[in-house]
């Protein structure tokens, strides 16, 4: 118990700005993979649903944030703790090749799924070389 | 030198592989110091009152159908699996921080619970299991009869 580790990684410093709420916040774990025409991001954000997640894209900085209601159980004492509830925040720098109008996001079972389609002109074009 | 190559296939004991493993273990131990960030999955909190226990677990991305909860007296066992995101041909992974695979976690609860009345729900990736204390285990108040 004494050597237990917290399961979520706490942000060491606020992301450039400070928050008004005096509450812990966490960096969600993400998987990012690139498909032929999109970049797909999955973020573990337990406690977050589609209403409590905010995704902003400013210039080329994509910010994910999720609000989590603190876990309270009236009349119960805490017997064992491995995680704390807190908001999530993480920012990524994207390259310019994202089609901003077609970004899709969904939340299921506490996992945010973000699809960032690549902009058309940047898609690889295969050039056929004709024989002379 | 030919023989250390065998170790790669796991058939022959190789001192180099042992050394490598030792090094990995050491690295893991040392890196834990700087990043208190474990891969134990799922993270669990336990809340207790005199009447019942609430166990909550962060299970993002786990389909409730793939989650098994078993209770025996005061031992709660959580097993389940989280499917890894499979890459199709042509897809490239940039980051992989989320853990996947099977997990089992076992907890000893503060007292025996009535396994017939256990109630579990899973919402927004958080599992909540409510386990009422077994009648036989509840503290009983003993009235003292007076002789007069």
- Asked whether A96 and A57 are in contact (CB, 8 A), the reply is no
Cβ–Cβ below 8 Å for B95 and A30: yes
Is the predicted pLDDT of residue B39 greater than 70, yes or no?
no
Please tell me the total number of residues recorded for chain A in this structure.
132
pTM above 0.95, yes or no: no
Q: What is the ipTM of this complex?
A: 0.75
Chain A, chain B: beta-carbon pairs less than 8 Å apart = 128
Reported as a single tens digit per residue, the pLDDT across B95-118 is 888 888 889 999 999 889 998 899
Residue B47 makes CB contacts below 8 A (sequence gap 6+) with A73, A76, A77, A78, A79, B53, B54, B55, B56
Cα dihedral: A116, B42, A48, A97 (round 10): -10
Query: Mutating which of B67, B81, B97 best tests the A interface, going by the most A Cβ atoms within 10 A?
Result: B97
Give the number of other CB atoms < 10 A from CB of residue A110: 26
A interface residues, B as partner, C-beta within 8 Å: 5-9, 29-36, 39, 42, 44-49, 71, 73, 75-83, 107-111
Reported as a single tens digit per residue, the pLDDT across A33-83 is 998 889 999 999 999 999 999 999 888 889 999 999 888 888 999 988 888
Residue B77: its pLDDT value, please?
93
């Amino acid at each position: 118990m004494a050597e237990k580790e917290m399961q979520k990684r706490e942000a060491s410093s606020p992301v450039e700005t400070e928050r008004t709420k005096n509450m812990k916040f966490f960096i969600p774990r993400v998987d990012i993979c690139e498909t032929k025409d999109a970049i797909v991001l999955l973020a573990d954000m337990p406690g977050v649903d589609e209403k409590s997640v905010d995704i902003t894209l400013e210039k080329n900085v994509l910010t994910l944030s999720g609000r989590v209601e603190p876990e309270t159980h009236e009349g119960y004492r805490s017997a064992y703790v491995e995680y704390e509830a807190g908001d999530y925040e993480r920012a990524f720098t994207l390259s310019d090749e994202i089609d901003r109008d077609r970004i899709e996001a969904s939340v299921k079972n506490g996992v945010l799924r973000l699809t960032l389609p690549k902009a058309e002109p940047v898609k690889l074009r295969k050039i056929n070389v004709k024989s002379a | 030198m030919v023989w250390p190559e065998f170790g790669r296939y796991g058939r022959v004991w190789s001192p180099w592989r042992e050394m490598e493993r030792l090094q990995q273990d050491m690295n893991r131990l040392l890196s834990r110091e700087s990043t208190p960030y474990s891969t134990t999955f799922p993270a669990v909190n336990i809340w207790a009152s005199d009447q019942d226990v609430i166990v909550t677990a962060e299970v993002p991305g786990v389909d409730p159908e793939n989650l098994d909860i078993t209770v025996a007296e005061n031992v709660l066992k959580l097993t389940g699996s989280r499917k890894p995101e499979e890459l199709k041909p042509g897809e490239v992974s940039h980051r992989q921080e989320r853990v996947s695979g099977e997990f089992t976690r076992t907890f000893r609860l503060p007292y025996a619970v009535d396994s017939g009345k256990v109630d579990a729900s899973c919402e927004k990736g958080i599992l909540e299991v409510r386990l009422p204390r077994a009648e036989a285990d509840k503290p009983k108040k003993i009235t003292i009869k007076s002789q007069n």
